[in-house]
Amino acid sequence: MTKFINLHTHKFSNLPDVMEIVNQYPWEFDTSIPNYSIGIHPWYIDKNRLEADLKIIKQKLQLDECLALGECGLDKRIEIPLDLQISVFKKQLEIVKQTNKPIILHCVAAYDEVIAIKKEMKIENPMIIHGFSKNEQVAQTLLKNGFYLSFGKYLLRNPDLEKVFTFAPKNQILLETDTIEESIYQVYDKAASIKEISLEEMKSIVFNNFSTIFNYK
């Protein structure tokens, strides 16, 4: 049976038909979660804790149950200086580069910077923009630069995003819940109806993408 893939969630649901990547932070790690990503979110950068956090990220990325780095990235709408965010982001990318694990990205108003860093650091690990909510032009630029787009909350909330999701190539999309109350099943139902395909086909598309990106057997 093809499982539902939830690319990014902050709540571990333990549903038998869902494979979910639960977001973890180095400073509040839950060892009971079977599959997770780990990273320093730009909102929560703490210089006093930074070296300890990076050390934990390095350790966890060696483990099979740690599927990805993230969420990490850049956010221009917060008080934390962008140069500090970029420095912390690059330090995390240096660690993940030593693996083939994907990167789950939080990106707000900093797409040009993220694309430039990907090129500058020659990142070959798959990079996924989680919670994508922007227009077709931004989507096209990201897709052209090899990023994957994960859709969730805004697909349920913003009708304008339906057009973007319609044209997004099937081999570059993923689905998620992030922090919303709605279930991953509701996200898949919505996604399937926008693409005008069956739920089973939607599941199969996302599962195949997940298997490719995460080298999942």
| CA atoms of 85 and 134, how far apart (whole Å) | 21
What are the tens digits of pLDDT across the range 180-206? 999 999 999 999 999 999 999 999 999
- pLDDT, one tens digit per residue, over 16-52 is 999 999 999 999 999 999 999 999 999 999 999 999 9
In angstroms, the CA 20 to CA 176 distance is 9
User: Domain residues for 153?
Assistant: 4-214
Average model confidence (pLDDT) across the chain: 97
* % of the chain residues with pLDDT over 90: 99
Structural tokens at position 148: 């994957």
Question: Residue 124: what pLDDT?
Answer: 98
Asked whether residue 113 carries a pLDDT value surpassing 90, the answer given is: yes
CATH number at residue 87: 3.20.20.140
Query: Residue 180 CA to chain centroid, in angstroms?
Result: 15
Please name which of 3, 1, 7, 4 lies closest in space to residue 127, comparing C-alpha atoms: 7
> Above 90 in pLDDT, residue 60?
yes
Cα-based torsion angle of the residue sequence 42, 46, 50, 53 in order, rounded to the nearest 10 degrees: -70
Q: What pLDDT, on a 0 to 100 scale, did the predictor assign at position 217?
A: 72
Side chain identity at 191, as an amino acid letter?
A: A
How many folded domains does the chain comprise?
Answer: 1
Distance, CA of 72 to CA of 181 (rounded, Å):
22
Model pLDDT, residue 11: 96
* pLDDT tens-digit series, residues 142-185: 999 999 999 999 999 999 999 999 999 999 999 999 999 999 99
pTM listed for this prediction: 0.97
